[in-house]
Structure 1
Amino acid sequence: MTWTVVISLVIGFILKFLLSPPSAMVGWVLGKFELHPKLESKEVTVTFNGKNLKEEEKVRFTDYFNEADFLKKYYIFPGNEKLFLHPETNVTPFVINVKKGKKEVYFFVYNYDNHVDVVKQSKKKVVSYSLSSDNLQKFTLPTKGLA
């Protein structure tokens, strides 16, 4: 009887430690399912119209992307992925390429006047969502800002 109580207390303490909010384990698990992740400017490549952004522009764009507020997720029905990856719009997207190990993820960022649309592509999975960010919506490049 006492061993049962001791074992259940030990298991309870271990679960409490692993599942407490500041735990690294919880952060790692939540990061795996995060739709709008925080990006490190050192780990990304940002291109616009096929040309890489300069380092300071890339850092500024990444900061604006990280600070943006999530609005809503768009549901993509199977077979309609190409409509989101190549929409019929005159807006040229910023393309963020993130490489972590063998994993490669692309973010296509379409700036509009009242919101920002993001299409996230990893392998064959495509997810689309909308953001709100005044800085990102008004982000422009100087004519000499491309490398």
Structure 2
Amino acid sequence: MTTWFIIFLIVISTLKVVLASPPTFVMEWLLNKFALHARLSEETTTITLRGKRLEGEEKIQFINQFNEATFFDRYDEYDVPSENTGTPLVIDTKKGKMDVRLSVYIYSNHVDVFKQYNKKAAAYSLRSETLQSTPLAGNGNFIYS
């Protein structure tokens, strides 16, 4: 009986330590699973502007800048800015098995992102010095060249 009690205490103690401080890869997986601003990968992403696809170095450069952008604010359902009248940069990507469409509006002081997936939508704002300083940033139009 004493042996089983000691084994039970060891198992419970180990479980408590693992749950209180999980390994880094477990935390990264959990955070990425529920992140609003997920990272884009070059293989599963297509980027279009006015029907024209970004390819090669332009695509890689934009994806790197987008991934490095800092999440700034999430818009509530009734708080979505109405200034997004320019031409968006449309990003089609996959998150697991789910298709995700991002509409990106770049301005001189922030970047607005509208995310559509599984009949759901979310809107949020990013900060990125490199994206915000692109040509024509400031009026919602975006030409990356």
What interval of TM-score do these two structures reach, taking the shorter chain for normalisation?
0.7 to 0.9
Equivalent residues, number: 136
Q: Is the counterpart of residue 119 in structure 1 residue 119 in structure 2?
A: no
SS of alignment partner, residue 43 of structure 2 = helix
**Distance (Å, rounded) in 2 between the aligned partners of 1:42 and 1:106:** 15
Q: Map residues 30-45 of structure 1 onto 2, 5 A cutoff.
A: 30-45=31-46
Question: What are the superposed Cα offsets for residues 32-74 of structure 1, whole Å, 9 maximum, x if unpaired?
Answer: 1101112112221111111110221110000010111111110
Counterpart in the other structure of 1:138: 133
Please tell me whether the aligned partners of residues 84 and 105 of structure 2 are also in contact (alpha carbons under 8 angstroms): no
For residues 50 and 106 of structure 1, do their structure 2 counterparts lie closer, same or farther at Cα, with a shift above 3 Å needed? same
For residues 89 and 28 of structure 1, do their structure 2 counterparts lie closer, same or farther at Cα, with a shift above 3 Å needed? closer
Q: List alignment gaps of at least 5 residues for structure 2.
A: 135-142
Give me the CA root mean square deviation: 2.4
Counterpart in the other structure of 1:145: none
Counterpart in the other structure of 1:7: 8
**Distance (Å, rounded) in 2 between the aligned partners of 1:133 and 1:115:** 7
For residues 141 and 35 of structure 1, do their structure 2 counterparts lie closer, same or farther at Cα, with a shift above 3 Å needed? same
**Distance (Å, rounded) in 2 between the aligned partners of 1:100 and 1:114:** 28
Q: Is the counterpart of residue 72 in structure 1 residue 68 in structure 2?
A: no
The code of the aligned residue for 1:61 comes to: F
Which segment is superposed worse, 66-75 or 89-98?
89-98
Query: How far is 1:18 from its partner?
Result: 6.0
Question: What are the superposed Cα offsets for residues 83-106 of structure 1, whole Å, 9 maximum, x if unpaired?
Answer: 77xx56432111111124531011
**Distance (Å, rounded) in 2 between the aligned partners of 1:63 and 1:136:** 10
Q: List alignment gaps of at least 5 residues for structure 1.
A: 143-147
Query: How far is 1:117 from its partner?
Result: 0.3
**Distance (Å, rounded) in 2 between the aligned partners of 1:62 and 1:21:** 30
Counterpart in the other structure of 2:59: 58
Which segment is superposed worse, 11-20 or 22-31?
11-20
Percent identity between the aligned chains?
A: 43
For residues 5 and 54 of structure 1, do their structure 2 counterparts lie closer, same or farther at Cα, with a shift above 3 Å needed? same
**Distance (Å, rounded) in 1 between the aligned partners of 2:39 and 2:19:** 23
TM-score after normalising by structure 1: 0.78
